[in-house]
Amino acid sequence: MVSLRSLVERIYRSPEAEVFDKIVMHASKCNEAAREFHHAVLSSRKELYEPARESLGKIMRIEEEADAIRRSILDRLAVIGIPPTVRQDYVRLAERVDLIADHVKASARTFLVVGPENIGKELLEVLGDTAAALEEASRLLVEALEKSRKDYNAALSTIKKIEEYEDMGDEYYVHGLTMLRENQDLLLYKLVNDVESAIDAVEDASDVLEEIIVRIIR
């Protein structure tokens, strides 16, 4: 049985809340893509190359789903009556979130081109650490978005944790570049760079969210 409260909320739900729900859904898709990438790297380390390829293939489909959500966000923002500053904030946030999926997809595509079986064990170990940081950072972004509905301080605290994982990603990135210094394989360099860019994109999205929250509480 539907409660009176839930019925009222369904009828009078604000357009802004609808858009924000889509943004959270968008970020969740990005986290799903990051989780599949991490699984692909772990499978490759165990020499389970077909499961790795399956996960990489899933990322392509997830990115398409994420892009469809982004378009629906922009379409909705174009017709609802909300203040221009709020519309601009939501557009910026949606675009930053979408870059996460883009970079994870780029990482997966390069991984497939190189071939899971053609990446050395040492580099796979570094990529595994980086992918773990990416998955956790993107999960925390979803958590921060959810918390920002009710508790701005809790959301800001979660955003700080994202910065820690981005710093870890920087360290893994430097480690990966050092390993590739003698190899000079441009595709492997691109792979390392793509994964680092994905973590940077998570932090960029969290920076936009942080900016919005700080402006509200001031």
* 3-17, 154-168, 187-201: the lowest-pLDDT one: 3-17
Structure confidence by residue, pLDDT tens digits, 85-126: 888 999 999 999 999 999 999 999 999 999 999 998 999 999
Ranges of each domain in the chain: 14-217
What percent of the chain has pLDDT above 70? 93
DSSP structural state of residue 117: G
Whether the predicted pLDDT of 191 surpasses 50 = yes
Half-sphere exposure of 183 (CA within 13 A, CB side): 16
CA atoms within 13 A on the CB side of 194: 19
Report pLDDT digits (tens) over 14-29.
Answer: 778 888 999 999 999 9
Domain 14-217: what homologous superfamily? Answer: Phosphate transport system protein phou homolog 2; domain 2 (1.20.58.220)
Query: Which residues are CB-contacts of 141 (< 8 A; sequence separation ≥ 6)?
Result: 27, 30, 31, 97, 100, 162, 202, 205, 206, 209
pLDDT of residue 13: 59
Does position 12 have pLDDT exceeding 60, yes or no? no
Number of residues written out for the chain: 218
Q: How is residue 88 written in tokens?
A: 């601009």
Distances in whole angstroms, Cα of residue 175 to Cα of each of 64, 134, 187: 31, 16, 16
Q: Which residue has the tokens 């990489």?
A: 56
Q: Provide the pLDDT confidence category of residue 155 given band limits of 50, 70 and 90.
A: very high
Q: What is the pLDDT of residues 39-94, one digit of tens each?
A: 999 999 999 999 999 999 999 999 999 999 999 999 998 888 778 888 899 999 99
Instruction: State how far the Cα of 89 lies from the Cα of 5, in Å rounded to an integer.
Output: 29
